[in-house]
Each structure stands twice: as C-alpha cells, then as structure tokens.
Amino acid sequence: MKADRTLDCYGLLCPMPIIKTAQEFKKMKIGEVLEVLSTDEGIKSDMPAWCKATGNEFLGLDEKEGEYKVYVRKKIHYE
C-alpha cells in the first residue's frame, strides 16, 4: 500500500503508537495515508478502535515476524 507518510513507532508500547499517530495526523491533510511501523502487538486492536472512535479510516495491517505495518487515512480535521 502506498502511504504519504511513515511513522516509526518501533519499540514503543501502548498507548504511544496511538498518541504518536494522533500527533502526526495534526500535520497531515485530509485524505492522506499514514503508515505506522510498530513492534507492539496491541496495535492490531488499538488502531482499528482508535479509527472508529475518531472517525478516521483503518485501511489494513501487514504483519511479519513480530513487526506490524498499519495503514490509516485521515478523514477529519484536528486542531
């Protein structure tokens, strides 16, 4: 999947990947896609839940040997 930006969250545990994603979204335009790189297995459930709660779009997840690539599209404006 093609992303407009990549956010490296390797080594960070919950809730930091979600917090970092929210911070990065403040810099992004609506419609842009963010790739989040993580080693925290919790991101598999945390990111879809965050997207549902905030109105952003969860696009999918790739998992390989304990590393996760999560793709989310910004759908709302952040202040």
Give the domain range for residue 66: 5-73
Q: Across residues 39-64, what is the average pLDDT? A: 97
Q: In this structure, are residues 28 and 4 in contact, taking their beta carbons and an 8 Å threshold? A: yes
20 within domain boundaries: yes
Is residue 21 in a domain? yes
Q: Which residue numbers are catalytic?
A: 14
Give residue 77's pLDDT: 77
CB 37 within 8 A of CB 8: yes
Taking the whole predicted model, whether its pTM rises above 0.85 is answered as yes
What are the DSSP E strand ranges found in the chain? 5-9, 33-38, 57-64, 67-73
Query: Does residue 79 lie in a domain region?
Result: no
State the chain's mean pLDDT as an integer.
Answer: 95
Nearest of 57, 77, 54, 63 to residue 3 by alpha carbon: 57
Residue type, 26: K
CATH of the domain at 15: 3.30.110.40
78 assigned to some structural domain? no
Mind listing the pLDDT tens digit for each residue in 19-43? Answer: 999 999 999 999 999 999 999 999 9
Q: How many domains are there within the chain?
A: 1
